[in-house]
Structure 1
Amino acid sequence: MNQTRLPSMLSLAAAVATVVTLSACTSMAPHASFSQTSLPDTVKVPSGHMVAMETHATGELTYECKDKANMPGQVEWTFVGPKATLADRHGKAVGTYSGPPATWQATDGSKVSGTQVAVAPSGPGNIPFQLVKANPAVNPGAMMGISYIQRVALQGGAAPATGCSADTRGQRTVVPYQGDYIFYKAV
């Protein structure tokens, strides 16, 4: 082999190795943490908390046609409960969301429920953004230390605009939805 070509071939090999290494590092880099900047202030998590886990929910919300509270003779679709699968950002199932009461359970058996702090509109046909103050977790695992849960990036899930009448009182309907649940811990 020509001695003058050897250094340039070594340089080329080093450059290729650098590109391969950088590409591998980029694909393994974690996703940027969720940003609250575009959310209404009412559903932003207070300072002093950081994102612990981001999940994507795919599921359904059940509604029942019931009498309106304190409005005799009038009916409306009333929320009964959720049923959804929670997945990580790679699509792997990491838990469930169900209720009532609203409960987020990780596949490791840890779970948390909470109290709604605030909601804000998220667009026509979508359930609202939501901020929940978490109760202490049950069972050790991923849900330990969760302080707040945000519901964001919503698609669907709103109660039907029609179909509830005195004649359909007691009937239930299921509405599909998707959204992200962002879990926070105190820093």
Structure 2
Amino acid sequence: MIRPVLACTALATLAACASPPLALRAYDQGSLPQAVQVPAAHRVAMETVGTGTITYECRAKADASGAHEWFFVGPDARLADRGGRLLGRYYGPPATWESIDGSRVTATQVAVSPAGTGNIPLQLVKANPAMGQGAMAGVTYIQRVATQGGVAPAMPCSASNLGARQVVQYQADYILYKAM
């Protein structure tokens, strides 16, 4: 299902942006690439639609080759339920999913899998213990699926624009799991 990407770029406007109502889509693990499948004995605790931006910065490559590349700085997205109701926020670094109840969780990447030209990859992350009690307590894994946009800018990154930042729009479903 293709959904429009909304422009929600500043924290002050995140609460005001509303995603259109979306049909509930269950994520059959068998339909996803094996690398990003959640291990058995975990159940879906929450499905969210993340809509926002990813910031990239033009930097020298770490390999000392003299080349330059767009470096992922971090996301800033509104997390909503499938009906558009605000549930929280996803931001980083470090990658943090925060509920409106104040609980939050960070995570470490386990795997990625291509999601098609122009889209950031599908992703599986393993959650660290939650901070605070609430919706994020007990979250064990988070999948990023149904990605749209978010890839590094197409404009050149070179010595002439080192330090330049570009913000790109993206949308993805974040499926949060808890152990059964």
TM-score by shorter chain over 0.5: yes
Q: Deviations over 1:63-96 (max 9, x none)?
A: 0000111133100000000000000011101000
Whole-Å separation in 2 of the counterparts to 1:119 and 1:141: 28
Whole-Å separation in 2 of the counterparts to 1:60 and 1:50: 28
Compute the displacement of 1:31 (Å).
Answer: 4.5
Q: Percent identity?
A: 61
Q: Deviations over 1:144-182 (max 9, x none)?
A: 100000000000000013321110111000000000000
Unaligned stretches of 5+ in structure 2? 1-22
Counterpart for residue 25 of structure 1: none
- Equivalent in 38, 44, 53 of residue 51 of structure 1: 44
Whole-Å separation in 2 of the counterparts to 1:104 and 1:35: 23
Counterpart for residue 53 of structure 2: 60
| 8 Å Cα contact 1:33/1:51 also seen in 2 | no
Tell me the amino acid that sits aligned with residue 71 of structure 1.
Answer: A
Hey, which of these two has a bigger chunk of helix by percent?
A: 1
Counterpart for residue 91 of structure 1: 84
Counterpart for residue 7 of structure 1: none
Confirm whether residue 110 of structure 1 aligns to residue 103 of structure 2: yes
Tell me the amino acid that sits aligned with residue 37 of structure 2.
Answer: K
Counterpart for residue 126 of structure 2: 133
* Aligned length, in residue pairs: 158
Which 4+ runs in 1 deviate beyond 6 A?
Answer: none
Confirm whether residue 69 of structure 1 aligns to residue 38 of structure 2: no
Q: After superposition, where does 1:138-153 map in structure 2 within 5 Å?
A: 138-153=131-146
Q: Deviations over 1:112-158 (max 9, x none)?
A: 00100000100101100000000000000000100000000000000
Compute the displacement of 1:32 (Å).
Answer: 6.2
Whole-Å separation in 1 of the counterparts to 2:48 and 2:160: 39
Tell me the amino acid that sits aligned with residue 159 of structure 2.
Answer: A
- Equivalent in 93, 101, 104 of residue 94 of structure 2: 101
- Look up the SS of the partner of 1:138 in the other structure: coil
Compute the displacement of 1:34 (Å).
Answer: 2.7
Aligned-pair Cα RMSD in Å: 1.3
Tell me the amino acid that sits aligned with residue 75 of structure 1.
Answer: H
The structure that has the greater radius of gyration is 1
Whole-Å separation in 2 of the counterparts to 1:74 and 1:32: 42
Whole-Å separation in 1 of the counterparts to 2:25 and 2:77: 24
Whole-Å separation in 2 of the counterparts to 1:36 and 1:100: 28
Q: After superposition, where does 1:163-174 map in structure 2 within 5 Å?
A: 163-174=156-167
- Look up the SS of the partner of 2:35 in the other structure: helix
